[in-house]
Amino acid sequence: MDSILVTGNGPLNGQIPIAGAKNACLTLMPATLLSEEPLTLTNAPRLSDIRTMTALLQSLGAEVTSLQGGKVLAMSSHDLNNHKADYEIVRKMRASILVLGPMLARDGHAVVSLPGGCAIGARPVDLHLKALEALGAELELKEGYVHAKAPGGLKGGTFEFPIVSVGATENALMAATLAKGTTVLKNAAREPEIVDLAQCLRRMGAQIDGEGTSTITIQGVDRLGGATHPVVTDRIELGTYMLAPAFCGGRVELLGGKRSLVEAFCQKLEQAGIAIEETEAGLAVSRAAGTRVQAVDVTTEPFPGFPTDLQAQMMALLCTAEGTSVLEEKIFENRFMHAPELIRMGANIDVHGGHATVHGVDRLKGAPVMATDLRASVSLILAGLAAEGETVVSRVYHLDRGYERVEEKLSACGAKIERVAST
């Protein structure tokens, strides 16, 4: 398993290009199952999760061709010859559950392994299943697999999500495009990735209104066509790299960044004393020499609230803030595993249930630390950028799921960072 070596090296200056969104691409790719016509995605990120989804779609009989070094995915599911998503693939990536709705909508049957939990929580999929049942799906759980049928096809229906779920909204939205009649999804997720999916489905001929609000209405159509669609910018990668100059000082321009994707996050950063400027090419973030990050309180919420996927990174920043910050994680039940690793670097953090209280210290000290999940791994790298001495982050396979070429992007701005291949 590779490790990343990072050494505190002073202010950062330069530009970082932001890639297409992993979490948009992971729902756009299964959308190809809805149509016999080709679906091409541009601005796709080059990540291991995308390669896993590619393997899953290919195991179902879809053709997925990666072009231009992985930035373009040309897909076609003209001849689906297998409707079973196997546990071996699904257990590696929970987003695999997103093939259930499209397969069921298109061919009336699907067998998908339950994904199981992950480090940050139990991650049930009950809302995916309830939403599909509201569209007439008949579901049976057998030996860890969901056996889904829709004899005569799915029918439009109304479903109100008891809690906001990004994935369940995506599964239901895709399935509803081919259901007979009208579907209304209430308390739907409002994330930019949902909006991007709706725009892609509309390009394919779907009739959708209300994406980005809590109520999405879909008029089912008989079939969908092909399309070419650009994957939306990754707001989590954007927010992650916006923190690099916040940690180290200096000025970094995030190419392709849009403030509208990270508004709640920007407001917290500005409260903490970080300057954010909208430029022609994206967003420029800076912290003037001699200034110190100010403590702020953070509560994670569904979009447009503060994203849970930026909580670990923000906690790392607040470890050296002036004052005490309280972070409340309201989306997942176990998403503070980066705290013990930051404490190894000298942070002063008390975790109680869904709350973490961070007492700012002057500076962290480099140490060997371990990545536990995708966002925790990058928070440790950010902490190492500003720490005194050397930090070694192990198990960076977590990192490669969601961030392409981290060491290249950061060293281009002056960071002292390198990947050490495992012996």
Q: Does 117 bind ligand EPZ (CB under 6 A)?
A: no
- Pick between residue 182 and residue 214 the one whose CB is nearest to ligand EPZ: 214
Residues in the chain: 423
Q: Count residues near ligand EPZ (CB under 6 A).
A: 23
* 330 annotated ligand binder: no
Q: Is 118 an active-site residue?
A: yes
d(CA 30, CA 47): 16
Residue 123: other Cβ atoms inside 10 A:
15
Stretch that binds ligand EPZ, among 125-133, 180-188, 194-202, 411-419 (CB under 6 A): 125-133
* 192 annotated ligand binder: no
Q: Does 402 bind ligand EPZ (CB under 6 A)?
A: yes
As measured in angstroms, the least distance from the Cβ of 363 to ligand EPZ is 28
- Pick between residue 126 and residue 350 the one whose CB is nearest to ligand EPZ: 126
Q: Please state the three-class secondary structure of 123-166 as a single string.
A: CCCHHHHHHHHCCCCEEEEECCEEEEECCCCCECCEEECCCCCH
Q: Is the peptide bond before 192 cis (omega within 30 degrees of 0)?
A: no
The dihedrals phi and psi of 150, each to the nearest 5 degrees, come to: -145, 75
- With residue 170 as reference, give the H or E element that holds it: helix 166-176
CB 30 within 8 A of CB 60: no
Q: Does 306 bind ligand EPZ (CB under 6 A)?
A: no
| 86-105 positions binding ligand EPZ, by CB under 6 A | 94-95
Q: Does 126 bind ligand EPZ (CB under 6 A)?
A: yes
d(CA 323, CA 347): 13
Window 157-196: contact mask with ligand EPZ (x via CB under 6 A): ------x-xxxx----------------------------
Q: Does 313 bind ligand EPZ (CB under 6 A)?
A: no
| 20-79 positions binding ligand EPZ, by CB under 6 A | 23, 26
d(CA 369, CA 378): 12
Q: CB burial class (10 A; 0-12, 13-18, 19+) of residue 260? A: exposed
- Pick between residue 238 and residue 374 the one whose CB is nearest to ligand EPZ: 374
* 334 annotated ligand binder: no
* 203 annotated ligand binder: no
* 125 annotated ligand binder: yes
As measured in angstroms, the least distance from the Cβ of 50 to ligand EPZ is 11
Give DSSP secondary structure letters for 373-385.
SHHHHHHHHHHHH
Residues that bind ligand EPZ (CB under 6 A): 23, 26, 94-95, 121, 123-128, 163, 165-168, 308-309, 331-332, 374-375, 402
Catalytic residue numbers?
Answer: 118
